[in-house]
Amino acid sequence: MATFVLVHGAWHGGWCWRRVCERLAARGHRAFAPTLTGLGERSHLLSREVGLETHIDDVVNLLRWEGLENIVLVGHSYAGLVISGVAEKIGRTIESLVFLDAFVPEDGQSMLDLVPPGNKQRWEPGLRESGGLSVPPIPAAVFGVNEADRAWVDAQCVPHPYKTFTDPIRLAGARERIAKKAYIRAALYDSPVFRAYYERLKDDPSWRVFEVRSGHDVMLDAPDELVAILEQVA
């Protein structure tokens, strides 16, 4: 039995991991899918004070209060920054670190440093409308979510706290000291950023890399394949 902690990306919530959690539980594992502050069922906590450190602490505190050890920590998309920060604070509890079509930041980088310019332009109108508080969700169709789930995903996604995108992350090498690291690329989501991470890391012997033929929300489009990979890297 392994223990998985699954961290969602921007605009989403713990709800997006339901299919994966159910499958992991059916196979005898434990799975936790926290919702980060200001999102999902915690969207009422959205404020200007919610930053990247808040989201890192959301996960760190889950591990501490649940007494979790030897975990497989998975971060999707934006949560690549979150799990990198968690590794700095409490890396000793992490057995395996998994980046699911996710950003792999370097010290001092923010989310805004990592996203393509087109994303920033898409956010601008909603960002102005919120007075700089939050970034409106990107439609599920843009992420290549399967057609059957698009309306549901669009209804579930909420504005994301903007400060988490502007806060730089502080890293001092804890991520690299974790022996088991994996990168999973969603092959049907054409992101030059994630493709570049995949190409770079597949030549690094300290990482394992995988491709899944799905849209960006792999946990929704290909839960069975994702669970099989997570068991491999646990």
Render the burial of 200-225: b for 16+ CB within 10 Å, e for the rest: ebeeeeebbbbebebbbbbbbbbbee
CATH of the domain at 66: 3.40.50.1820
What's residue 23's pLDDT? Answer: 98
Rg of the chain over CA atoms, in angstroms?
16
What's residue 159's pLDDT? Answer: 97
pLDDT single digits (tens) 135-157? 999 999 999 999 999 999 999 99
Sign of the four-CA dihedral 44, 47, 51, 57:
negative
Q: Is 84 a catalytic residue?
A: no
**Low-confidence spans in the chain with pLDDT less than 70:** none
Q: Kindly state the tokens that stand for 177.
A: 């000291």
| pTM of the predicted structure, to 2 decimals | 0.97
What's residue 127's pLDDT? Answer: 87
What's residue 117's pLDDT? Answer: 81
Catalytic residue among 77, 84, 134, 191: 77
Domain region containing 85: 3-233
Q: How many domains does the chain have?
A: 1
CA distance 14 to 90: 21
116, with CB counted inside 10 A (0-12, 13-18, 19+), is exposed
User: Is residue 94 within 8 Å of residue 71, measured between CB atoms?
Assistant: yes
What's residue 97's pLDDT? Answer: 98
